[in-house]
Amino acid sequence: MTGIVLIGGKSSRFGTDKVVARVGEKSLLTHVTDVIAPLFDEVILIGHKREGLAGFKVVEDVYPGRGPLGGIYTALSAAGYPQCFIFAADMPNLNEGLIRHMISVADDHDAVIPIWSKGREPLHAIYHKRILPVVAGLLEKNVLRIFDLLKSVDTLAVPEETIRSYTDPEKTFANINTLHDMNRLS
């Protein structure tokens, strides 16, 4: 399985490139990659190349400006393994136990996604390469919602009870959108 970190957002609410912004001693991106690197034989960043990404394999979006669904397409196209665990770079509180659980139940599903009381987490999910034609079809129709993809493929939901046996979803799925969010983290 390939570990994928989506780094393509514009960081408009943050005011500067949050992916390389420092949180304590490390960049926001390093908080994510420190957790996932030991879990995957391959880690790829999907988005535009820029300063602060030395040492990482970066693949530019095949469909720039098409949001996370475009990132998922690029990830599945670039990955060397049949399945990808796709994360957003702005989720610095990843839980290794939950990730390992999701990997263990992925089996032959097209997607594995956590679902809890505050919603679904499509950018903390596993996707199989075989759904590439479905993703391409949605992008061609300019349908950019990941939830439209998930309705079209075999999706396994990881329920809140299971998530809570590993971590507090409020913490794990929290993302950094503003400097205030970043200051709470450090």
| Cβ within 8 Å of residue 117, ≥6 positions away | 160
Total domains, the chain: 1
Three-class SS state of 98: helix
> 39: helix, coil or strand?
helix
3-state secondary structure (DSSP) of residue 92: coil
124 DSSP β-pair partners: 87
pLDDT tens-digit readout, 135-174: 999 999 999 999 999 999 999 999 999 999 999 999 999 8
Residue 54's domain spans which residues?
2-185
- Give the lowest-confidence range in 22-36, 86-100, 136-150, 154-168: 22-36
Is 134 in contact with 155 (CB distance < 8 Å)?
no
- Share the mean pLDDT of the chain: 90
Q: How many whole angstroms separate alpha carbon 138 and alpha carbon 143?
A: 5
CA 82 vs CA 2, 107, 131, 148: distances in Å: 8, 11, 10, 21
Q: Which pTM does this prediction carry?
A: 0.92
Query: What integer pLDDT is reported at residue 157 of this predicted model?
Result: 98
- For the stretch 37-85, pLDDT in tens is 999 999 999 998 888 888 899 999 999 889 999 999 999 999 999 999 9
**Residue 89 φ then ψ, to 5°:** -65, -20
Which CATH number is 20's domain given?
A: 3.90.550.10
Confidence class of residue 27 from pLDDT cuts 50, 70 and 90?
Answer: confident
Q: What's the confidence (pLDDT) of residue 183?
A: 61
